[in-house]
Chain A
Amino acid sequence: MIINDSKLKKKAQFFLFGISFVVYFSILCLSCYLKPAQKGITIAGSTSIQPFADQWAEVFMSRFPEKVVNVQGGGSSAGVQAAITGASQIGMSSRELKPEEKVLTEFIVAWDGLVIIVHPSNPVDNLSLEEVRKIFAGEIISWKEVGGFAKTIHVVTREEGSGTRVAFQEMVMGQRRITKKAIVQDSNGTVREVVANDPYAIGYISLGLVEGRVKAIRLDGLEPSVENIVEKKYRLVRPFILVTNSVPHGIVQDFIQFILSEEGQNLIQKQGLIPARLVKKGQSKEE
């Protein structure tokens, strides 16, 4: 009786031990072939769009609770790649698509101004485009040269490959390179944090993210405001693009339609972005 019992126990132990591995390895192998069984759709890409998209998804899901939208960061390039490979159903890009990425269907859902920011205590509040270019190129190194403190300028930029940096590079720097001495941060929020805490820092972020703790610089005398962008005066403007692999259908279509609807565009305006219809494509590049 005792022997039987212990044999059984041993068998059970052996069985349990073995089975856990069989299960584990088969899950591993099977999952390579399985299609992700995730509910709803995933949007991935630009960290500049992510905070806004998060809210779009929140409102969208409160309207249609059965339609699930997951928002991911990753960066513009990763988002576009994810849309091409199908890793996510919608990609977000905060820069224009490259020619080889044009296979995707794109929807401009909003426009965003790029704003040069400094610490609120900084006396400088107007810079010319040329001055900004020289500051970021490392040619102007003291605030004194542009009418401020006799202090070294702490340039803050985004990391190589970021959509915001690409847009800034194109619209402000042109052929010049951003100085290597610049502090590099990997999101709009972090750039804003650094500038908000350092009286001698300068950086660039999305118009929608400007708030009291940083001061927006006027560029050639122009306030970076929605009106100035719509009136085509302030020219640091870039599109927020959603891309899909094919003609959208199902939740993807519903979501994009929702953002482009009156309600969605109103939400976008409330977030400090510029509704898609107010700006024509290519405005940023017009002379």
Chain B
Amino acid sequence: MEKLTFQFQTNRAAGGDKTQTIVGVVASGNLEVLLERSQTPGECSFEISTAAHGFGPVWEAVLSDFVGRSPVGGLKISINDGGARPDTVALRLAQAVRLIEEDKA
């Protein structure tokens, strides 16, 4: 397992008022994404635990695009990765941010 952490500044706060949400599963080629509303609104942090070593720069590229594209201010995002491809990571993140902004079920 490799541990990676990233921190981004953003001026777009996450929508909705759910305190947390989770999407995906830990499986080969898949990942689990946990979103928690616990940071200051202008920040978004990532903690990644991944089975695939040596992909730090790709993670940084995927996450920085995601932060640029989606309202994620005030989120702490934890990822359990089973070696998912970047396209799967990007999709799961987009799904997670949509889930936390949805009305409480």
Chain A complexes with chain B: no
Interface residues of A, Cβ cutoff 8 Å to B: none
